[in-house]
A and B are shown apart, each in its own frame.
Chain A
Amino acid sequence: MSGRKKTLLKVIILGDSGVGKTSLMQQFVNNKFSHQYKATIGADFLTKEISIDNNKQVTLQIWDTAGQERFQSLGVAFYRGADCCVLCFDVTNEKSLNNLSSWKDEFLVQSNVSNPQDFPFIIIGNKIDVDDSKKIPSLQKKLSNITSNQLGGLNYPVFETSAKDAINVEQAFEVVAKMALQQEELNDINGGVDDDYNDAINIHLESDNYGCAC
């Protein structure tokens, strides 16, 4: 029973308020889309099992986060242990595109990942179903400016999706899963030592004295 190790991959979705993070996750996990906007409070995850590559089963634990800071009052401890981070913007909202790099920076600062240079991110531009007239003017150019600029550091795969019409969502998350898996395997090689044995010296046999038990 213990022979086959089940792989759990942790994915964090970040981006400005209203770009459709929850919708993307809902579309991918439950194939649902709601026209109603509901703000996300705190952070919550959904899981989905998928098979990638040669039928390898993985469980994606996808964390949807609050885009509005006032609904993230407990901080972002859940970034820890992430295997991949999805940066979302809204193709009709230029500000959300320009904020991507600050979301990335925030993630790297808070998540404390061991290899910030190589940590896998992907970029998703959501809402491509809306009318072209409402989209960011010369989006492709701006996008390639942002992603090809080595200094800006956002040279990651880009997907343009519609959570509403289920366009490209599946494909994007498949790439997310592959990248996350790679990252996870890398962590097993490097980080495993760090996690398992370094603390072994510092054994807390019985807990220290605590006050009240309730």
Chain B
Amino acid sequence: MVISTSEQTSILQSCISSIKNESNLMQQSLQEGNLLQALKHCSNFLNELRTSQLTPKQYYEMYIMVFDALEVLSSHLLASYKSKSRKIGGEPTPFLADLYELVQYSGNIIPRLYMMIVIGTAYMATKDAPSKEIMKDMIEMCRGVQHPIRGLFLRYYLSQRTKDLLPLDNENDFAETVNFLVSDFIEMNKLWVRLQHQGHSTEREIRSRERKELKILVGSNLVRLSQIIDDYKGDKDFVAVDYYKEKIFPVITEQIISCKDLLAQSYLVDVLIQIFPDDFHFSTLEDLLNNVFLKLHPSLKKSELVSTLIERFITYHKYESELTDGVDKLKLEESANQTKKQYSKLFDLFWDFYTKLHASNVNLSSEEHSTILQSYIKLILTFEDDSYSDLDKIYQFSSEHFVSKTTSDEEQKLWLDLLVSPVKHFKQIKVLLKLPFFHNLYSDFAHEDLQKKISLQILDKVLEMGNDDQEVEYYSSTEDIDVLFKYLLVLIQGSGSKLNSGKDLGVVQSLKLNDGEVVVSQEFLTTQENIAKAIHLVHNDDVFNNIANLFYLRKKYLNKNHENIIYTYPALISKILDQLRLAGLAWLRHSRREPNNEDLLITSNFKNLSVIIDELYQHHQQFNSELVLNLYLNAATVADQLKQESIAYELYTRCFIVYEENLILSSSRSSSRHPYASLGGSLSYNSIIQIASKLANSRYFSKENYDSLITKLTLYGSKLLKRHEQCRSVYYCAHLWWWCDLLTDDSSPTVDGDAANGSGLYKDSKRVLECMQKSLRVADSCIDPYLSLKLFVEILNRCLIFSIYGNSLINSRYISGLIELIKTNLENLNDENSGKKDANDPERLLLEQIQTYFQRTLDYIDFQRRYEDRFQDIVI
């Protein structure tokens, strides 16, 4: 008989209105003092509970209404009893006992039993009532209802009504109460399990759904048991844990095991874990695992139970540690010791159970295994922060039994979290990474992507340290470097150009690498950036040791994919250079410049560093020469500061090579920049300016070497493709012959022995003049008269600087001549433009700009003349 949902709804509606109606009538009768009539109405609405056409949820709705109505009856009965009893001087009256007998004659069993329970429990609430007999009678009578849904609700009602009346005064009472609850539980469980087998087999799904809804009723007696164990105060020697262990746990678990029902077992074990306190579970854990879990239905997911249980212990532990927060140190230590003991036993028990489970059930799915082991890991991480051996045990087991046995991605994915969650958990992870089986398990992952996932977590974690008062872990030896970087190798080698375009749509970037244009994802770039950050975690207070470690890192890990060195080498090179500078400065300070072992070490390290930059250059020269140039320049600057002349010279030579091989014709960047602007310009021009600015600060070359370097650079400048760039680079290079500041405490070898030079500064006024002349010639040869004029004014400004800094060849006469030249050109151009009326004519605007610039320069000369006593002879 299958009823449609809409039919069920209308049945429910009519039941509800009938209950409302009859319960109102019952109340009226009660108010009128007509108890028998009231009982009749009561029986009428209780009749509605006889239905078997509703779902458990709908039945529950009715039940709640009935419950409320019966409460009214019950409180009325108690009030009547009290007033009757008062009338006869406070003696007990047989009123309720008689009524209890009376309702036995009610026709239908459901109304009869509900009324019996209302009256029986009201009776129990009175003084000197034979509670235990009434309880026995009621529970016996309940056997009369064998329809599962009706029976379950009836027994639930019994349990709800008796909950505050259970006798707990002495040992005997307590034992009977426990019996009462346990037997009610057993009967309810039987009804519940039996429901599964009722009706046609096609209704199996429906039955199963109904049973799931009904489950909380079955749990109610267990809840009650847990409560009364708490409440029982009748016996001084009573130890709750022991009582549970000896009297309750065996009976209940026996029932759970013997019912052989999947749903019942999984629900009831869950309830058992949830409602009894933690110390009860600690004391019965061994039994629970070995004698209960192992005996449950083979297809029941043990992992769920295990994880519920472990979650429970974890919550308990957190709570405990919160409790001990405020307590003094001594106690804290004591409790820590206790936890340690507790934990080690706990883990052993769980582990023992797991090995048994593994041995006894060959068909257990990998999912089950991995979920259980994940729970174990949670347990370890919560209870003990340094029990790495237990972790390793788990890793060894999973590596040997599962992960190495399969190459399927899906299978292996299950195991990923085993490695990932400890990585996230620990504040420091070096020890974790060192665990032998951590790496074994890691290596078992066949697919690169899975390894990458773990590696990324490790990388993130390593970089995260140092935030939020976590201590940074440094890697100070080659062994240490291996510990971390063997996990990063997969990321270092990973190629960024193999992309799944569908997946990475919209998050890609196009980069120019040596093999041409490649497309990489932002994610890949971030990873490479993070690897570069990790390089900075290689640290040792002994500088030379540290440098050796960095070279080791490059040789063993970073150079494994030449495509990717472009991302990581700059960080490595900067880091090595930084360490070299530290080593060199220390050496300079202490050793009075006697050549010794350290000096040689520095020299050889510079050579090695240069090899690394070379390597980067070899593989990435086409598109990244500018970067390489920068690295060489930085290294050259440091080498010069450390008085490593031959190294510095060599490094500058490398710069020139980079320039000649790759930058000389490179006008790619900024070439669209307007020639009138003095900033910007082509890559080659910028490279020259960059080298010049570094060379201008070099102080430890011999005169010969210095001359050769700056002459060569100036020559490059004079050969640039564009006139204005030639002109500008030459007038900038002029500064290389005219130092204004020594920048160092020592005297410079560049000017050593030059007796004519009293200032100790390298100065060659003739070469400066030559440069200015060359600039002027180039400027003059520009076909564009405006550009030419602009350059003249720029040169004029340079000349003023050289004049201020005492170059006697750039004298007033020279400057006056230049001013005259500019004025003439300016007038010519003004004449040409005089016919133009359009105020926005570009040439006119340009001329105005140049004129303003020139005027500002003249104003400056005037200012200097008046306040600084300079330029007196200049003719404006």
The yes or no verdict on A and B being binding partners is yes
A207 touches B68 (CB 8 A): no
In the bound complex, what is the Cα–Cα distance between A34 and B227 (angstroms)? 11
B220 touches A42 (CB 8 A): yes
B50 touches A210 (CB 8 A): yes
Contact of A36 with B277 at beta-carbon distance under 8 Å, contacts A73-B213, A73-B216, A207-B48 already known: yes
Q: Which residues of A contact B555 (CB under 8 A)?
A: none
Contact of A74 with B319 at beta-carbon distance under 8 Å, contacts A39-B274, A41-B223 already known: no
Q: Which residues of A contact B83 (CB under 8 A)?
A: 1
Decide if A141 is an interface residue (CB 8 Å cutoff): no
Decide if A214 is an interface residue (CB 8 Å cutoff): yes
Contact of A74 with B160 at beta-carbon distance under 8 Å, contacts A41-B275, A207-B44 already known: no
B-facing mask of A62-97, CB < 8 A → 1, else 0?
A: 000010001111110110110000000000000000
Q: Which residues of A contact B56 (CB under 8 A)?
A: 74
In the bound complex, what is the Cα–Cα distance between A55 and B322 (angstroms)? 41
Q: Which residues of B contact A70 (CB under 8 A)?
A: 270
Q: Which residues of A contact B323 (CB under 8 A)?
A: 35
Q: Which residues of A contact B326 (CB under 8 A)?
A: 131
Q: Which residues of B contact A203 (CB under 8 A)?
A: 21
Partner of A78, one of B50, B64, B80: B64
CB distance from B433 to the nearest CB of A (A): 31
Partner of A36, one of B52, B75, B214, B278: B278
B274 touches A38 (CB 8 A): yes
Q: Which residues of A contact B126 (CB under 8 A)?
A: none
Decide if B844 is an interface residue (CB 8 Å cutoff): no
Contact of A130 with B322 at beta-carbon distance under 8 Å, contacts A207-B44, A213-B109 already known: yes
CB distance from B153 to the nearest CB of A (A): 10
Decide if B108 is an interface residue (CB 8 Å cutoff): yes
Which A residue's beta carbon lies closest to that of B47? Answer: A207
Please report whether the interface of chain B is mostly helix, strand, loop or mixed according to DSSP: helix
In the bound complex, what is the Cα–Cα distance between A40 and B214 (angstroms)? 15
Which A residue's beta carbon lies closest to that of B108? Answer: A213
B17 touches A202 (CB 8 A): yes
The stretch among B140-148, B359-367, B854-862 that forms the contact with chain A is B140-148
Instruction: Output the residue of A40, A70, A74 with the most chain B CB within 10 A.
Output: A74
In the bound complex, what is the Cα–Cα distance between A49 and B19 (angstroms)? 27
A38 touches B275 (CB 8 A): yes
Q: Which residues of B contact A73 (CB under 8 A)?
A: 212-216
Q: Which of B180-225 contact A (CB under 8 A)?
A: 212-217, 219-220, 222-223
Q: Which of A1-52 contact B (CB under 8 A)?
A: 1-2, 6, 8, 18, 34-42, 44
Decide if A151 is an interface residue (CB 8 Å cutoff): no
Q: Which residues of B contact A37 (CB under 8 A)?
A: 277-278, 315-316, 319
Q: Which of B261-318 contact A (CB under 8 A)?
A: 270-271, 274-279, 315-316
In the bound complex, what is the Cα–Cα distance between A75 and B54 (angstroms)? 14
A80 touches B21 (CB 8 A): no
In the bound complex, what is the Cα–Cα distance between A108 and B852 (angstroms)? 78
B21 touches A204 (CB 8 A): yes
Decide if B497 is an interface residue (CB 8 Å cutoff): no
B315 touches A38 (CB 8 A): no
CB distance from B522 to the nearest CB of A (A): 32
Contact of A8 with B64 at beta-carbon distance under 8 Å, contacts A73-B215, A204-B21 already known: no
Q: Which residues of A contact B18 (CB under 8 A)?
A: 204, 207
Decide if B79 is an interface residue (CB 8 Å cutoff): yes
In the bound complex, what is the Cα–Cα distance between A51 and B63 (angstroms)? 30
B276 touches A38 (CB 8 A): yes
In the bound complex, what is the Cα–Cα distance between A18 and B276 (angstroms)? 15
B79 touches A81 (CB 8 A): no
A212 touches B274 (CB 8 A): no
Q: Which residues of A contact B670 (CB under 8 A)?
A: none
In the bound complex, what is the Cα–Cα distance between A182 and B31 (angstroms)? 24
In the bound complex, what is the Cα–Cα distance between A114 and B148 (angstroms)? 35
CB distance from B698 to the nearest CB of A (A): 55
B21 touches A199 (CB 8 A): yes
Which A residue's beta carbon lies closest to that of B31? Answer: A2
B60 touches A77 (CB 8 A): yes
A131 touches B325 (CB 8 A): yes
B33 touches A2 (CB 8 A): yes
B217 touches A42 (CB 8 A): yes
Contact of A74 with B17 at beta-carbon distance under 8 Å, contacts A6-B75, A39-B275 already known: no
A210 touches B51 (CB 8 A): yes
Please report whether the interface of chain A is mostly helix, strand, loop or mixed according to DSSP: loop
In the bound complex, what is the Cα–Cα distance between A34 and B277 (angstroms)? 10
B277 touches A38 (CB 8 A): yes
Decide if A118 is an interface residue (CB 8 Å cutoff): no
Q: Which of A159-214 contact B (CB under 8 A)?
A: 195-196, 199-200, 202-204, 207, 210-214
Decide if A56 is an interface residue (CB 8 Å cutoff): no
Q: Which residues of B contact A75 (CB under 8 A)?
A: 57, 60-61, 213
Instruction: Output the residue of A72, A75, A134, A195 with the most chain B CB within 10 A.
Output: A75
Decide if B430 is an interface residue (CB 8 Å cutoff): no
In the bound complex, what is the Cα–Cα distance between A33 and B215 (angstroms)? 28
Q: Which residues of A contact B322 (CB under 8 A)?
A: 130-131, 134
In the bound complex, what is the Cα–Cα distance between A77 and B57 (angstroms)? 8
Q: Which residues of A contact B71 (CB under 8 A)?
A: 8
A77 touches B61 (CB 8 A): yes
Contact of A214 with B145 at beta-carbon distance under 8 Å, contacts A2-B31, A42-B220, A77-B60 already known: yes
Which A residue's beta carbon lies closest to that of B83? Answer: A1
A72 touches B216 (CB 8 A): yes
In the bound complex, what is the Cα–Cα distance between A73 and B61 (angstroms)? 13
Partner of A202, one of B21, B30, B44, B279: B21
Which B residue's beta carbon lies closest to that of A70? Answer: B270
Q: Which residues of B contact A74 (CB under 8 A)?
A: 56-57, 60, 213-214, 216-217
B47 touches A210 (CB 8 A): yes
Q: Which residues of B contact A35 (CB under 8 A)?
A: 319, 323
In the bound complex, what is the Cα–Cα distance between A165 and B281 (angstroms)? 27
In the bound complex, what is the Cα–Cα distance between A1 and B18 (angstroms)? 28
A214 touches B275 (CB 8 A): no
CB distance from A78 to the nearest CB of B (A): 5
Q: Which residues of A contact B145 (CB under 8 A)?
A: 214
In the bound complex, what is the Cα–Cα distance between A44 and B147 (angstroms)? 24
Decide if B20 is an interface residue (CB 8 Å cutoff): yes
Decide if B14 is an interface residue (CB 8 Å cutoff): yes
Decide if B396 is an interface residue (CB 8 Å cutoff): no
Q: Which residues of A contact B146 (CB under 8 A)?
A: 214
Q: Which residues of A contact B212 (CB under 8 A)?
A: 73
Which B residue's beta carbon lies closest to that of A75? Answer: B57
Q: Which of B429-479 contact A (CB under 8 A)?
A: none
CB distance from A43 to the nearest CB of B (A): 8
CB distance from A9 to the nearest CB of B (A): 13
Q: Which residues of A contact B65 (CB under 8 A)?
A: 80
Instruction: Output the residue of A78, A81, A204 with the most chain B CB within 10 A.
Output: A204
B20 touches A199 (CB 8 A): yes
Q: Which residues of A contact B80 (CB under 8 A)?
A: 1
CB distance from B318 to the nearest CB of A (A): 10
In the bound complex, what is the Cα–Cα distance between A6 and B30 (angstroms)? 14
A80 touches B64 (CB 8 A): yes
Q: Which of B5-44 contact A (CB under 8 A)?
A: 14, 17-18, 20-22, 24, 30-31, 33, 44
In the bound complex, what is the Cα–Cα distance between A67 and B285 (angstroms)? 26
CB distance from A82 to the nearest CB of B (A): 11
Q: Which residues of B contact A210 (CB under 8 A)?
A: 47, 50-51
Q: Which residues of A contact B50 (CB under 8 A)?
A: 207, 210, 213
Which B residue's beta carbon lies closest to that of A1? Answer: B83
Q: List 10 A-B contacts (CB under 8 A).
A: A1-B80, A18-B315, A38-B226, A38-B274, A41-B216, A75-B57, A77-B63, A210-B47, A212-B147, A213-B109
> Apart from A1-B83, A204-B17, what are 11 other A-B pairs with CB-CB below 8 Å?
A1-B79, A41-B219, A41-B271, A70-B270, A71-B274, A75-B60, A81-B68, A134-B322, A204-B22, A212-B147, A214-B144
Question: Which 7 residue pairs are nearest across A and B when measured between Cβ atoms?
Answer: A42-B216, A36-B277, A39-B274, A77-B61, A204-B18, A41-B219, A77-B64
| A contacts, CB < 8 Å to B | 1-2, 6, 8, 18, 34-42, 44, 66, 70-75, 77-78, 80-81, 130-131, 134, 195-196, 199-200, 202-204, 207, 210-214
